[in-house]
Structures are given as C-alpha cells and as structure tokens.
Structure 1
Amino acid sequence: MNFALGFLPVALLLLGFPIFLVLLTSVCTALVFFMDVPLAALQQNLFGTIDSYALLAVPFFVYAGELMGRGSVAQRLVDIVQSGIGSVRGSLGLTTVGTATIFGAISGVSSAAVATIGKVMVPAMRRAGYSDKFSAGLITAVGAIDVIIPPSVPLLVYGMAAQESVPKLYAAGLLPGLMIAAMIGIYVVWVSKKEGVPPGERFQLRTFARALGRGVWALGAPVIILGGIYGGVFSPTESAVIAAIYAALVTRFVFRELGWKDILEASVATVMFSGQVLLIVACAGVFGWLLTVNQVPTTMVQWLTEAQVSPTMLLLALNILFLVVGCFIDPISAILLLSPLLIPIVKAAGIDTVHFGIVVTVNLAIGLFHPPFGINIFVAQTMLGLKLETIYKGIVPFIVIYLIALALITYLPAITLASMRMMM
C-alpha cells in the first residue's frame, strides 16, 4: 500500500504526468493490487465528489471573467483607476495594481488578469519609461492577487475540500489581498522615484467622472458578487450565475462589443477550463477517500500529538511545503491533493481552518509567478515577447514582498479573520 500511496504518485509527478492521471493511477493500483474493495467504489467516489452544489459556481465565475476580458472592460477599469490616482509618481504602476485587483473581483483567475490587464498597461508603461524587467515583474506578480480576493476559484475549491464556509473564506481573503496590493503599490512608488519616472496627469474631476460613466457597468460585477453574498441576497453559487448573466448582457447589449460568436467562444473556453478543474476535483476526491480509508490522516494526527509540534512550527513547515509544491503544481491541484491529508492535522493543532485556507492560497499564489513553472510567467512571456531571464529578474522583488506578506498573514491571524468578522 505504501507503494500506491507514496512512491507511485511521486514517481509519476516527477515523470511529468498530468495531476489527474497521477491520482487516478494511484487509486486504481491500490484498489486492484492492495485492497479487497469492488471497483465500483472508484466510480461512485468519482461522481460523488463532483456532485456538489458549491462547485457549480466555478464555471459561472470563469464565464463571467471570460466575457469581461474579451471586450474593453480592462481599458474602462484602467481609465477609472488612472484618472482617480492623478499625478502621483508611479501612477501607471499603481493603475496596474488597482486594475488587476478590481479585475480579480470579477474573474478570480490569475492568468486571465495577467493577459487582459497586461495588454493594456505594459505598452503604456514602456512609453512612460518603465523598464521591461520591472513592467514584466509587476504584471506577472500582481495577477496573483486575483486568487486571494473573492471570488477566488482556489478558495472555492478549498472550501469544498475542507468542508469550510465559502462566504467566510471570501471575507477572510479580502483584507490580505488588499494588504498585498498596498505593499506592491508602495514598492511601485519607490521604484518610480528611483528611476525618475515622470508623474501622471493631474486629477481632474471632469475626466474622472467621464471615465466612471464609461466604466460603471464594468464595476457592477464585483458589486453584485460581493454585495449579493454579504447582503444575504444569494449564495456564492447563485452570485456566480447572476454575475455570468450580468456579464453577458453588459458586453452584448450595453457595450455592444461582443457578438453571439464571441459569446459562444467564451462558453467553449469556459467549458474547457471547467472540465479540467472538475476532472482534477473528481480524481483528488477519490484519492482523498483512499487516504481516509487507509487511516493516513489519523496516523499523522497521532504522530503530531506524540511529537508535540507547536502550531508555530507546524505553520512554518506547511508554508515551506506549499511554497515548494506551488512551484510545480497549480493551486487547484495542490489544494485538492494535500487538503485531505493536512486538514485533520491543522484541526488537531487548533489552527483555524479559515485562516489556514488563506495561508495556503497566498502560498500557492506565489507559485503562480515563481520560477520555474509559474503559469503567469509563461502568459507574460507570450504576451510581451521577452526572454525568461528578463522576467525572472523582474519577479524577484515581488517574491520578497509576497513572502513578507505571507509571514504577516501566517502569524497574525487577525489580518485574515478581522474582515471575516466584520462582514459575516
């Protein structure tokens, strides 16, 4: 059994097999060679895992982001943020941070923010005198905020895997996400002053009002999502459906930028992405069932109790684990792979599972732009046409910023739980 649960998954991962195939192969090997269990259990657990009302939110949130990312929504958001910032030195960099954060409250998918916001902001930053290294590092890193603030798809998946409230997780992720955005913003201003980047145009109420009028419909999506959930009007799944309908109506009939063909293409892209996610969810669910049946989590909890590991040291060890895992595996796969094993350990140590969910998500957000396999790096490379070496150099300062934020979030739970208590 140790072969099926330990050696085989690691070996398949190192050989480059897709994560769903790694999990499914391990389960099939265990059932056929090491367990006296009917193979029907595999089918039952595969379908039982994705038979979840909460998971319905995934395709609808992704669809809303797809629609909003295909028109001029990004440019409209940029105009609002830029006209509101005014002549602050580093205004274009700050606009990138602010726009990506707002876009994250629509999409919840990091790579979408990198591609959509990057197309608008990077050429403007080049013209303003920002180096390619800094511009690439900024857009690659700032997109990772989108998996921390609501409606984050990884947080939704963690809520399902940990049997935790998704509204609580969304509320808890808001303040850490904004804190990271503020820290990046401070660094942007410092770099702009150091490199002598000229300030932007002065704030003008008329310009801001005009930009707000053009973009107010784009701001409606996050207002609907967050206002509906925390106003008690509808659940996260219902808010996802309403956001998708809203995005379709706005992009088709208000902005008049997307035709029916574009809407169909967005639907196809959503189906492809959602199919990948749900396939991983199903295989991770049956792998988690296999771990539970073989009492692996129980054994680890007993070992933890006997070793008397403090919560502080446990969180440090788990941070290191998720930072390493996040460099090689996407956030959703990592959450589904490790949650069945770690949630019982975290509970036994007395760590709040909402707080732990944000810690996990921030770790994996770093993995999105951390070498060698961060998906945001390759999206930025494709979009900007830069060498990986240039992007890697630009990323380093932002990795440091995220690690500082991670330490604060990990060991100051009030940062995570304060917004949850205010909003719930």
Structure 2
Amino acid sequence: MTIILFLFLAALLAGLPVFIALAGSSLVYTHFMANIPDFVVLHRMAGGLDSFPLLAVPFFIFAGNLMNSAGITNRIYDFAVAIAGWMRGGLAQVNIIGSVIFSGMSGTAIADAAGLGTIEIKAMKDHGYSTEFAVGVTAASATLGPIIPPSLPFVIYGMMANVSIGALFLGGIIPGLFMTVMMMTYVWWYARRHNIGADQVFRWRVLAITFIAAAPALMTPVIIIGGMTMGWFTPTEAAIAACAWAMILGLLLYRSLSWKQLYKVSLDTIETTAGVLLIVAAASLFGWVLTTTRLTEYAAEGLLSFTTNKYLILILINMLLLVVGCFLEPIATISILVPVLMPILQKVGIDPIHFGVMMTLNLMIGLLHPPLGMVLFVLARISGLTVERATMAILPWLVPLMLSLAAITFIPELTLWLPRYMGLLK
C-alpha cells in the first residue's frame, strides 16, 4: 500500500493530471500486485459513475455557465449595488452581497470568481479601491459559491458519503449567511480604519428598478431550494429545472443569449463535466483499492488510538483538509478522503451532514492559495496582479474565513438546525 501512495504522490508532483495519478497508481496494485481481472477494474470505475445524483453535476455546471453567458451577472450586480452601495466600504459590501445572490445559481467558487469577479474588480478599481483589496474581497466572497446551495461539491460529497443532498443544501444556508456577516463585518472594520465611505446614496426607486430587472434571475435559487423543500423534485431534477429557467431567461426573456453562445456554453459544459467525471471514476477505483487494502480501517484505528475526543479529531481533520486543499482540487479531495474519514466520523459520532459543510469550506479556502488555487489564478489573471501579489492580497481575508470555519466546526447546529427543522434529519 505504501508503494501505491508513493506512486500517487509522485505522479502529482510530476504534474500529471489528478485522474491519471489516481487511476495509474490504482492500476499498479490491481494489475501487478493483486492480479485483479481487468473487467473488475472497469466495473469499479463504471460503478462510480452509475449514480442518479451524479447527473446533477453537468446540469449545475450548465446552469452556471448559462448565467454567466446570458448577462445575468450584470443585473445581479446592479441589484447588489442598490442594496449595499450605501454602506461603509460600499462596493466591497456589494461584492459580498453579489456573491451571496450568485451562489444560489452557480454552485462553484470558480464560476463566481470568473463571472461576477470581472465586473466587481473593475468597478472597485474605477471607484478608487486598491486592486489588492478588490482581489481579496472577491476571492473571499467566492468561497460562498459552494456553501450556499446549490453546490457542486455537496453533490459529489453526498454521493460519496451516501447522505441526503437535499439536507446538505439546506445545511449550507445558515453557515453561508454566517460567513457573509463575518466578511461584511471585516469590510466595515477595514473601511472605518482607512476612512472609506459609501459609494452611492440609498434610493428606494433605484432598488425597485434593479429588483424588477433582476427578479427573474433571483427566482433561480427559489426554484431550486423551494422545489426540493416542497418535494416537487430531487436535487438532480432541480438542476435540470435551473438549466431550463436559465435558458428561458437568456433566450426568451432577456434575449441576451444567442444560439452561437448556447453552442459554446454547451461545449464548455461538456469539457468541464468530462474532467469531473474522469476524476470521480478514477477516485472510485482508488477508494476501492484503499478499502480492499484496509487502509481506511488502519487510518481509523491509528487516529482513534491517539485520541477519541471528537473535537480534537475535528481539529486534526481540519488541519489535514486545509493542507490537502492547497494541492488537490475539491472534487478529487472529496472522492479520495471521504471513504477514509467516514469510519472515523461514525465511531466518534460526528454527523456526516455537518462534516460535509465543514469539509467543503476547508477545500474552498484551499482554492485561494498556491500551488493549485484555481480561484487565485483566475483573479490574478482578471486583475493583472502577479500570483504573489494576489496571494498577499488574500491573506488578511483568512481571518473572517478561519473564524467562520471554527464556528461551523464547533457549533454543529449552525449546519444541522435547518435540515432538522425541515424534516430531512432526525
């Protein structure tokens, strides 16, 4: 088993794609060490993809791409300006509110950063904010994307942990709002310290106009969450409904989405989905190898022999996830670590819904840092900053993010109260 882990890490360090590192190291075991027939290997990989909830992945990706291409982000931003532009630190507060709204449509941090980020950074720079501050607040607020439902990582986690995706979606709402308050408080403190005022006067008329323009787009999270809560459709069907609604908005209502753009969005979705599913298939095989070699069992026994204190275990797992999140993309990390960590969670009584939200936030923080922080690289390219300067700009924002992570880790009811209240948890 040591050889397999060594080969996996060596492949990653050599710069090979994650799915090749996962599948290649697994095949060394199945073909040369365990002499497992090839058809069994293929069956395990295909079995990892044979999941109805996994159908939600391409549809949520498609919905997020449609929102970006259809010009819906501009309407969301204008509405956010009307809501929060009058506050101290105006456009920085708008940045956060815009991410909260867009999080209910995209489901990924990268879509948030690339879609709204382009508009937000330019607007903040035009109003005299430093590029570093604009990049920092945009990066931090992008972490809300997968916490506030819908969430692509929640779909993958729910499949790997065999828990309700609907409960995960509801479980992310209060933690997401808590993170929003923490970030807005930090902006208020920063603005007061640097004597930054509001960027526009609050006007009810402007708020009404921008709300009417954005109202159809704002219906997207209502359709997704409301439909699932009322039992009208499953998370997968909710993703399909979100796509249908986004197409109606772009093609018929706003008429900002051309057929040529729709074709390009479809190709982009296919490309992204193929990458995600390759990782899921390879990670399914890798997880099966870890299970058959009893590594998951040994890991659980080793950690529990060190301590059985639930909160100390949560601290250790947080530390592990924060480090791993800097080197692996979230989908791969979830696919690899959930089978390893789940036996430990069960033995010490950690709720898997609570852990799913905690794990996702850890991995979103990892997206903000080198060497593989995709949000960092996207924002560095958009803003024109070097990766080093963008990294330094993001560092102060770790304070509200880490405080939020601590609260979500040690106050499980932040995550569990709403799904329990809605009857999705006992």
TM-score range, shorter chain: over 0.9
Partners of 1:370 and 1:399 within 8 A in 2: no
* In structure 2, C-alpha distance between the alignment counterparts of 1:353 and 1:126, rounded to whole Å: 42
Q: Which amino acid aligns with 1:352?
A: D
* In structure 1, C-alpha distance between the alignment counterparts of 2:368 and 2:304, rounded to whole Å: 36
Match of 1:3 in 2: 3
* In structure 1, C-alpha distance between the alignment counterparts of 2:370 and 2:61, rounded to whole Å: 25
Match of 2:263 in 1: 264
| Comparing 304-313 and 341-350, the one that deviates more | 304-313
Q: Which amino acid aligns with 1:374?
A: G
Q: 1:86 to 1:366 in 2, by over 3 A?
A: closer
Structure 1 residue 196 displacement after superposition: 2.4
Structure 1 position 91 matched with structure 2 position 90:
yes
Q: 1:372 to 1:31 in 2, by over 3 A?
A: closer
* In structure 1, C-alpha distance between the alignment counterparts of 2:117 and 2:295, rounded to whole Å: 44
Structure 1 position 249 matched with structure 2 position 248:
yes
* In structure 2, C-alpha distance between the alignment counterparts of 1:350 and 1:198, rounded to whole Å: 47
Partners of 1:85 and 1:91 within 8 A in 2: yes
| Comparing 239-248 and 27-36, the one that deviates more | 27-36
Matched position secondary structure for 1:146 = coil
1:3-402 paired onto structure 2 within 5 Å = 3-4=3-4, 6-402=5-401
Structure 1 residue 311 displacement after superposition: 1.3
Structure 1 residue 305 displacement after superposition: 4.3
* In structure 2, C-alpha distance between the alignment counterparts of 1:382 and 1:229, rounded to whole Å: 37
Q: 1:11 to 1:77 in 2, by over 3 A?
A: same
* In structure 2, C-alpha distance between the alignment counterparts of 1:285 and 1:328, rounded to whole Å: 19
Partners of 1:157 and 1:336 within 8 A in 2: yes
Q: Deviations over 1:361-418 (max 9, x none)?
A: 1100100112332111110111111122321221011112111111111111111112
* In structure 1, C-alpha distance between the alignment counterparts of 2:397 and 2:419, rounded to whole Å: 26
Q: Which amino acid aligns with 2:270?
A: V
Q: Percent identity?
A: 37
Partners of 1:128 and 1:198 within 8 A in 2: no
| Comparing 377-386 and 191-200, the one that deviates more | 191-200
Structure 1 residue 302 displacement after superposition: 3.3
State the TM-score, normalized to the length of structure 1: 0.97
Matched position secondary structure for 1:11 = helix
Partners of 2:84 and 2:91 within 8 A in 1: no
Structure 1 residue 81 displacement after superposition: 1.8
Q: CA RMSD in A?
A: 1.4
Partners of 1:297 and 1:341 within 8 A in 2: yes
Partners of 2:85 and 2:93 within 8 A in 1: no
Matched position secondary structure for 1:105 = helix
Q: Deviations over 1:163-187 (max 9, x none)?
A: 1110111111111111111111111
Q: Deviations over 1:9-49 (max 9, x none)?
A: 12222222211111111111101121132121111011111
Partners of 1:128 and 1:197 within 8 A in 2: no
Matched position secondary structure for 1:366 = helix
Q: 1:304 to 1:328 in 2, by over 3 A?
A: closer
Matched position secondary structure for 2:145 = helix
Question: Which runs of no fewer than 5 residues in structure 1 stay unpaired?
Answer: none
* In structure 2, C-alpha distance between the alignment counterparts of 1:248 and 1:340, rounded to whole Å: 37
* In structure 1, C-alpha distance between the alignment counterparts of 2:30 and 2:391, rounded to whole Å: 43
* In structure 2, C-alpha distance between the alignment counterparts of 1:88 and 1:2, rounded to whole Å: 55
Structure 1 residue 257 displacement after superposition: 0.7
Q: Which amino acid aligns with 2:299?
A: M
Structure 1 residue 308 displacement after superposition: 4.2
State the TM-score, normalized to the length of structure 2: 0.96
Q: Which amino acid aligns with 1:148?
A: I
Structure 1 residue 341 displacement after superposition: 1.0
Partners of 2:113 and 2:378 within 8 A in 1: yes
Q: Which amino acid aligns with 1:125?
A: M
Q: 1:63 to 1:10 in 2, by over 3 A?
A: same
* In structure 2, C-alpha distance between the alignment counterparts of 1:183 and 1:40, rounded to whole Å: 51
| Comparing 290-299 and 202-211, the one that deviates more | 290-299
* In structure 1, C-alpha distance between the alignment counterparts of 2:379 and 2:32, rounded to whole Å: 45
Matched position secondary structure for 2:29 = helix
* In structure 2, C-alpha distance between the alignment counterparts of 1:286 and 1:415, rounded to whole Å: 34
* In structure 2, C-alpha distance between the alignment counterparts of 1:2 and 1:396, rounded to whole Å: 35
Structure 1 residue 120 displacement after superposition: 1.3
Matched position secondary structure for 2:172 = helix
| Comparing 217-226 and 365-374, the one that deviates more | 365-374
Q: 1:195 to 1:399 in 2, by over 3 A?
A: same
Structure 1 residue 231 displacement after superposition: 1.5
Question: Which runs of no fewer than 5 residues in structure 2 stay unpaired?
Answer: none
